[in-house]
Amino acid sequence: MAFSGNYTCDSFKSGLLAGSFDLAPPTVDVYKIALYTENATLNDATAAYTSSNEVVATGYTAGGQAITPSVGILDGVSYLSFTNPVWTSAITARGALVYKVGGAALFVLDFGSNKTSTTTFTVQFPAATNTSAIIRIS
């Protein structure tokens, strides 16, 4: 079964409670975002990065691109977002996986349909605020 929605991975949820993720300075883990074709089977049980059905394109490197986390707390809501990755190449992708390098998967993004770019492919994360960040905990 191909992409079926956006998911916060179980490995991220349990890892948060275990202290497995360093998301704030001064010592931040390395995080990446990898792009996937419509044939990928990523979901909440995805535990780590996989190269299965990852996008293959000129200008795209297997494993994806490093992204920098941004965290905060306001009005009782903790939030997490990331820098927007940009690839300067022709890419078609159905979704993405954000993961800790050498560690667990954080979340799966389903773009809803194949997204194609002929020159620049950007994944735009929501603003890093307590009301719109990609991950919010209250």
**Using CA atoms, how far apart are residues 107 and 88, in angstroms rounded to an integer?**
24
pTM: 0.95
Domains of the chain, by residue range, sit at: 7-137
Question: 110-118 long-range contacts, Cβ below 8 Å, gap at least 24?
Answer: 110/3, 110/4, 110/5, 110/6, 111/3, 114/38, 116/90, 116/91, 116/92, 117/87, 117/90, 117/91, 117/92, 118/90
Q: What is the pLDDT of residue 49?
A: 98
**pLDDT-based confidence at 102, cuts 50/70/90?**
very high
**Using CA atoms, how far apart are residues 94 and 114, in angstroms rounded to an integer?**
4
More confident position, 38 or 2:
38
Q: What is the pLDDT of residue 1?
A: 52
pLDDT in tens, 56-96: 999 999 999 999 999 999 999 999 999 999 999 999 999 99
